[in-house]
Amino acid sequence: MKIWSCCGAFLLVLSAVVELMAEEGSVTKAAVVSGVVTYQPDAERPWRYGRYYLKQGKNGPLAETLVCLSGKGLAGKVMKSKKWLMDQKNFEYLPEVLAIQAGDEVEFLNSDKALHNVAAMGGKDPFNVMTPIGKSLVRKFSAAGNENSPIDIRCGLHSQMHAWIFVFDHGYAAVTKADGKFEFNHVPPGQYDLVVIHPSGELRKSVAIIVKPQEVVEEKVILSPDHLLKKK
């Protein structure tokens, strides 16, 4: 009996080692995708939002831009769940763009000295709730719409307040800050579209990329009036 017991224990340890080696191998093969999003202006086609989102010059890095990977094999490759904050301050949603994962929570805080409202439209988690002065509410977003179906956030009391929440079924999505930079780690090898969307400025561009094992892919994505979404 002791011999069989020892054999069983050995097999369990061996199985664990093989599984660990497989996991380490998948991490070793993973790659990095990084880069920066900039805006190239055109004097004949002025973009009125530039003064809000170009923090480092008229043709510099672009802030508040969604950047994500799109393609087969990404669904289900999620990162650790997280609770996000979207403040209501100076009659704005800050930040005005969030990229989260299905199952993440968002806390909507009211830092203004005025009553606000959070109306979430689209997706499977709509709601319409008042946010009193100094108070907050927390909502979980359970359904992913990825880059094509963002949750539209508005304040029913102040029409100028507008935000977007993109809910993904994977962890390869981010929103640029003033430096326009983005980076995705542990990207599995494959063919993807690097999708760049500026919701407020109505800009969108997609770049096809190929990610090879252990490779660092760097992309400088330039948006311009050529990438304005056409009005329906």
- Specify if 2 maps to a domain: no
Stated pTM of the model:
0.85
- Specify if 12 maps to a domain: no
Structural domain total, the chain: 1
**Which CATH number fits the domain that encloses residue 87?**
2.60.40.420
CA angle (164 as vertex; 163, 165 as ends), nearest 5: 130
Domain that holds residue 160: 31-227
CB 147 within 8 A of CB 66: yes
User: What tens digit of pLDDT does each residue of 208-227 get?
Assistant: 999 999 999 999 999 999 99
Q: How far is CA 162 from CA 88, 108, 137, 151, 224, in A?
A: 10, 13, 17, 11, 23
In angstroms, rounded to a whole number, what is the distance separating the alpha carbons of residues 22 and 193? 27
- Specify if 13 maps to a domain: no
User: What tens digit of pLDDT does each residue of 48-57 get?
Assistant: 999 889 988 7
The owner of tokens 């704005």 is: 92
User: What tens digit of pLDDT does each residue of 97-130 get?
Assistant: 999 999 999 999 999 999 999 999 987 878 999 9
Return the percentage of the chain with pLDDT > 90, whole number: 78
CA angle (142 as vertex; 116, 109 as ends), nearest 5: 25
In angstroms, rounded to a whole number, what is the distance separating the alpha carbons of residues 60 and 111? 30
In angstroms, rounded to a whole number, what is the distance separating the alpha carbons of residues 8 and 24? 24
- Specify if 5 maps to a domain: no
